[in-house]
Amino acid sequence: MAMNGTPHPLLVHRLPQPNYIDFVRWVPPLSALDRLVAAAVFDSSSSTSALQILSLTQTQTQTHPADLTLQSSWPSPSRITALSLSLLRHKPLLAAATADGSIHLIAADPVDLGVDSVGSGAIHAGPVSGIDLVEGGSEIVSVGDDGRVNLVSLSESRLSHRRVFDGNGLVGFAAAKWASPAEFATGGLGFGVQCVDNRKPGGPVSQFRGNWARGTSSGIVHSIDIHPSRKHTVIAGGSSGTVFAWDLRWQQQPIILSGVATGEAQAHSPLESEVWEVRYDNYMHSLNIGNISSSRILPVMTCSEDGILAVVEQDEEPIELLAEPCAINSFDIDGQNPSDVICSLEWESIAILSRP
Partner 1 sequence: MPDLVSDSGQSSVVPLSPDSQTPVVCPLHHGLKPPISRLSLSWSRGNSLRVSVFRKPAEDGEVGGKVVEVKLGDGDGEIGDAQWRRIAYGSVSPFALLQSRKNSMLSMSRVSASSSPYGAEWWDYVMEYSREINFLLGGQKLPPSSVIEDPKTVLKDYDSLLSGTQPTVHSKLLNFEKELVGLQAIEEDAKYWEAISSALAVGWLDIAVKMLRLHGSYQLDQLGSRELENGLVEAVAVLISKMPRMRPGLAPGKLGECYKTKPDFIKAWETWRAQITKLDCSAFWVQCDHRQTREGLKNLLQIMLGNANILSSATCHWIELHISHLLYIRPFTMGLESMYSLAQKCMQLKPMSSPHKLMRLLLGILGENIEVVLAECSRSFGPWIVAHAVELLTAGSTQADILLHEERYNLGGISMEELHRLVYAQVLSSHALTWQAWDLEVSSLIRSQVRNLIAPIYLTSCMKQGMGLLEILLYKQPVQHNKILLKNIEICRLYELDNVRSKMTKIAGVHQWKHGKKGSGVFWLQQARDEVRLNRIAQQLFDFVGKSISDESFKQWEGLIELLGSETRTAGGLEFLHKYRDFKRSLQQVHDGIATAAAQKAAESLILLMKNPSTPHRFWLPLLYDSKDFSFSLVRIWIGELSPEHKIVTHWYSFAIKGRDLSTTANPTILDPSKKSDPMLDNDREVLSGFTSPRPVTFVRLRRSPSCCQGSVLSLLFPRPSTSSPLDNRAHSMANTSQTLDLEGLHCEMHGIAEKIRIMNVNNVRLIQHLTTNNPPPPPTTPVLDVERSRCPQRSGDDESQSHRSFSDTLKGSARSWFIKLSPGTIDSFGDLSWLFVVNFMSCKFNQAVLEVKEPSDEVVIMAMMVGLRLGPLFDSLSKNVPETMSTLQSKADKYIAAEELTEAK
Q: How far is the CB of 293 from partner 1 (least distance, A)?
A: 35
- Decide: 14 and 321 in contact? Cβ < 8 Å: no
**Contact flag: residue 220 with partner 1 (CB under 8 A):** yes
Q: Of 242, 258, 345, 274, nearest to 24 (Cα)?
A: 345
The 8-class DSSP code of residue 189 comes to B
* Part in contact with partner 1 (CB under 8 A); list of ranges 170-178, 226-234, 263-271, 294-302: 170-178
**Contact flag: residue 212 with partner 1 (CB under 8 A):** yes
Interactions with partner 1, residue window 116-155 (CB under 8 A):
126-127, 129, 145-147
* Nearest to partner 1 of 44, 61 (CB atom): 44
**Backbone torsions φ then ψ of 181, nearest 5 degrees:** -60, -10
Q: Of 176, 116, 89, 101, nearest to 141 (Cα)?
A: 176
**Backbone torsions φ then ψ of 278, nearest 5 degrees:** -130, 145
Tell me which of 119, 187, 190, 254 binds partner 1, using CB under 8 A: 190
User: What is the Cα–Cα distance from 236 to 300, expressed in whole angstroms?
Assistant: 10
**Contact flag: residue 213 with partner 1 (CB under 8 A):** yes
Tell me which of 71, 98, 142, 258 binds partner 1, using CB under 8 A: 98
Q: How far is the CB of 184 from partner 1 (least distance, A)?
A: 20
The 8-class DSSP code of residue 220 comes to B
**Backbone torsions φ then ψ of 205, nearest 5 degrees:** -70, -45
Q: Which string of DSSP letters, residue by residue, matches 89-104?
A: TTEEEEEEEETTSEEE
**Backbone torsions φ then ψ of 248, nearest 5 degrees:** -65, -20
* Nearest to partner 1 of 34, 346 (CB atom): 346
Q: What is the side-by-side strand order in the sheet with 11-16?
A: 11-16, 349-354, 340-345, 328-333
* Nearest to partner 1 of 43, 316 (CB atom): 43
Interactions with partner 1, residue window 13-52 (CB under 8 A):
16, 18-20, 42, 44-49
* Nearest to partner 1 of 7, 325 (CB atom): 325
Rg (CA), the chain: 19
Q: How far is the CB of 145 from partner 1 (least distance, A)?
A: 6
* Part in contact with partner 1 (CB under 8 A); list of ranges 196-204, 214-222, 257-265, 280-288: 214-222
Q: Which residue(s) pair with 223 in the sheet?
A: 237
* Part in contact with partner 1 (CB under 8 A); list of ranges 97-105, 116-124, 179-187, 223-231: 97-105
User: What is the Cα–Cα distance from 297 to 216, expressed in whole angstroms?
Assistant: 27
Interactions with partner 1, residue window 237-256 (CB under 8 A):
239
User: What is the Cα–Cα distance from 151 to 317, expressed in whole angstroms?
Assistant: 38
Q: Could you tell me how many residues of this chain bind partner 1 (CB under 8 A)? A: 50
Q: Site residues (CB under 8 A) for partner 1? A: 16, 18-20, 42, 44-49, 78-79, 98-100, 126-127, 129, 145-147, 167-172, 174, 189-190, 212-213, 215-216, 218, 220, 239, 272-274, 305-306, 325-327, 346-349
